[in-house]
Amino acid sequence: MTLRIYNTLARAVVPFVSRETAKISMYVCGMTVYDLCHLGHARSMLAFDVVQRWFKASGYAVNYVRNVTDIEDKIIKRAIENGETIQALTNRMIEALHEDADALGIERPTHEPRATDYVPQMLDLIKKLEANGVAYATNKDAQGNADVNFSVRKFPSYGKLSGKSLDELRAGERVAVAGVKQDPLDFVLWKSAKVSEPDEAKWQSPYGIGRPGWHIECSAMSCALLGEHFDIHGGGADLQFPHHENEIAQSEAALDGSHPMANYWMHNGFVNVDNEKMSKSLGNFFTIREVLKVYDAEVVRFFIIRTHYRSPLNYSDVHLDDAKGALKRLYTALDLVTATADVAIDWSNPYAARFKTAMDEDFGTPEAVAVLFDLAGEVNRTKSSELAGLLRSLGVVLGLLQQAPQAFLQKGSGGDAAEILIQIGLRADAKAQKNFSEADRIRQALLAKGIVLKDSPTGTTWEAAT
């Protein structure tokens, strides 16, 4: 089956064809690093982690760029509030981002550019746009510092990603402010410096002292690292408009419309809390590390992955508890096998073939996860080392089932492993002496502490009750 993906630009699931044989170039909008990442950020990072993992499993070499926005209004405001430098804040938040992403098993991108390292490239791009007649300087202050805006109406195909017409957008905008914008739809490429802002938020430019606008950052970084034309641009659904629409406009206007910026546009769905999008502005967010204090990182990963990346994801403890129980069933199947075989995936195997069909249809993780459960059922029935190995290998494609089964199953018990083993030994002695009441007392005492004993022909093992 040919790999197909939902292309937001086409508004349809379409066959995927890379620009270069067996090579993928992919740019994904990353975090604005003024605070800790929340579960919505985890959802986006995980969605594209799975995408790049599947491309690799399908034989592609992946050049994956995920940027960091390290200069922006919220960053400047937070640094001033904290009494620290912008760089100190952003370095600290990037380190925290890496800790959270690593905990969730998210592979590092090939490149992780910081916006502040690409200001010269942004200025070069602005210069091209000005030369092409689609950008203009305005709002010059007493020191000669000016804003530079993009003239939206001079890019005829503006709105092609979001499906919004210029007339529709114009109706919802305020009247242009004289000296600031020629048209209320125009967006900023370069911001003149404010006296109140710290020096580290200011760069010299042909337009005086200032700093880049948000949208121009990604156009400059993607072009610098992937070229003027690449395969996939991705990000959260909230970025589709205006951020990605503006990226297309400024990138393609700089090229005189000679070719598209990216061939495919992918957008992951929101994480919702009580039917509202999780966001810092609404104050209804949970940071990744808050959630990881309560749930194992692989449970959180499984909770996110088992919903299709484009679908809304409803956050609640009930849903996470359900994900924990479901993942536990997969690990229980692996735990039944004495020695799991080291299996290279044979994609002609019926289970592997079904898994591949699911993933080739717009990265269909819900159907792929269903295959894992069917395979786990067969492992439960046969105790086959080969099938257990295939289950683990397919799980690894999704970043799952990488722990030792016993280690996962025993997490969260709160018990002392050495003491539990002593109690299991005492229970075995009681059973050998036919003192079944004592054996049952030990079992019940451990159960009261959240420890479940599991007897088998090869001995007794234990796991956490929940």
pLDDT given for residue 415 in this prediction: 64
The closest of 435, 431, 428, 429 to 461, measured between CA atoms, is 428
- State the alpha helices, DSSP H only, in 227-336: 245-254, 288-292, 297-305, 317-335
Domain end (from 220, 240, 272): 272
Q: Please tell me whether residues 426 and 397 are part of one structural domain.
A: no
The closest of 206, 232, 172 to 363, measured between CA atoms, is 232
Q: Do the Cβ atoms of 158 and 252 come closer than 8 Å?
A: no
Tell me if residue 451 falls in helix, strand or coil.
strand
- Within 13 Å, how many C-alpha atoms sit on residue 202's CB side? 14
Q: Tokens for 383?
A: 């105790």
CA 246 to CA 149: how far, in whole Å? 11
Q: Do the Cβ atoms of 171 and 108 come closer than 8 Å?
A: no
Cross-strand bridge partners of residue 266: 234
Q: Tokens for 263?
A: 């061939």
Q: Please tell me whether residues 431 and 376 are part of one structural domain.
A: no
CA 31 to CA 45: how far, in whole Å? 10
Q: Please tell me whether residues 139 and 170 are part of one structural domain.
A: yes
Domain, as residue range, for 432: 417-464
What are the mean pLDDT values of the chain's consecutive 10-residue runs (466 residues total)?
94 98 98 96 97 98 98 96 97 98 98 98 98 93 91 95 84 56 93 93 97 97 97 97 97 87 97 76 82 96 98 93 96 92 95 98 98 98 96 98 91 66 68 70 67 68 67
Q: Please tell me whether residues 99 and 232 are part of one structural domain.
A: yes
Kindly report the number of other CB atoms within 10 A of residue 34's CB atom. Answer: 22
Contacts of 254 (CB under 8 A, 6+ apart): 125, 128, 129, 132, 219
Contacts of 95 (CB under 8 A, 6+ apart): none
Tell me if residue 234 falls in helix, strand or coil.
strand
CATH code of the domain covering residue 189: 3.40.50.620
Q: Tokens for 190?
A: 């370069």
Q: Please tell me whether residues 129 and 83 are part of one structural domain.
A: yes
Residue 12 lies in a domain: no
Residue 177 lies in a domain: yes
Residue 386 lies in a domain: yes
At residue 388, φ and ψ (nearest 5 deg) are -65, -40
Domain count, the chain: 3
Residue 361 lies in a domain: yes
Q: Please tell me whether residues 218 and 354 are part of one structural domain.
A: no
Q: Please tell me whether residues 238 and 260 are part of one structural domain.
A: yes
What letters, b where the CB count within 10 A reaches 16 and e where it falls short, cover 291-314?
bbeebbbbbbbbbbbbbbbeeebe
Q: Please tell me whether residues 48 and 105 are part of one structural domain.
A: yes
**H or E, element range at 65:** strand 61-66
Which residue, chain included where needed, has tokens 């690449």?
230
CA 14 to CA 11: how far, in whole Å? 9
How many separate helices (H) and strands (E) can be counted in the chain?
16, 16
Q: Do the Cβ atoms of 145 and 210 come closer than 8 Å?
A: yes
Q: Do the Cβ atoms of 466 and 412 come closer than 8 Å?
A: yes
Give the end-to-end CA distance of the chain in Å, rounded to a whole number. 40
Residue 186 lies in a domain: yes
DSSP state of 19: S
Residue 2 lies in a domain: no
Residue 230 lies in a domain: yes
DSSP state of 228: S
CA 199 to CA 76: how far, in whole Å? 11
Identify the burial level of 131 via C-beta atoms within 10 angstroms of its C-beta, where 0-12 means exposed, 13-18 middle and 19 or more buried.
exposed
Domain end (from 255, 272, 289): 272
Which residue, chain included where needed, has tokens 């959630």?
291
State the DSSP string of 201-221.
G-EEETTEEEEE-HHHHHHHH
Q: Do the Cβ atoms of 78 and 34 come closer than 8 Å?
A: yes
Q: Please tell me whether residues 323 and 382 are part of one structural domain.
A: yes
Which residue, chain included where needed, has tokens 């722990």?
403
Domain end (from 361, 381, 408): 408
Q: Please tell me whether residues 404 and 426 are part of one structural domain.
A: no
CATH code of the domain covering residue 391: 1.20.120.640
Q: Please tell me whether residues 232 and 83 are part of one structural domain.
A: yes
State the DSSP string of 374-433.
HHHHHHHHH--HHHHHHHHHHHHHTT-S-S-HHHHHTTT--S-HHHHHHHHHHHHHHHHT
Tell me if residue 99 falls in helix, strand or coil.
helix
Q: Do the Cβ atoms of 66 and 109 come closer than 8 Å?
A: yes
Q: Please tell me whether residues 222 and 92 are part of one structural domain.
A: yes
Residue 277 lies in a domain: no
Identify the burial level of 276 via C-beta atoms within 10 angstroms of its C-beta, where 0-12 means exposed, 13-18 middle and 19 or more buried.
exposed
Tell me if residue 75 falls in helix, strand or coil.
helix
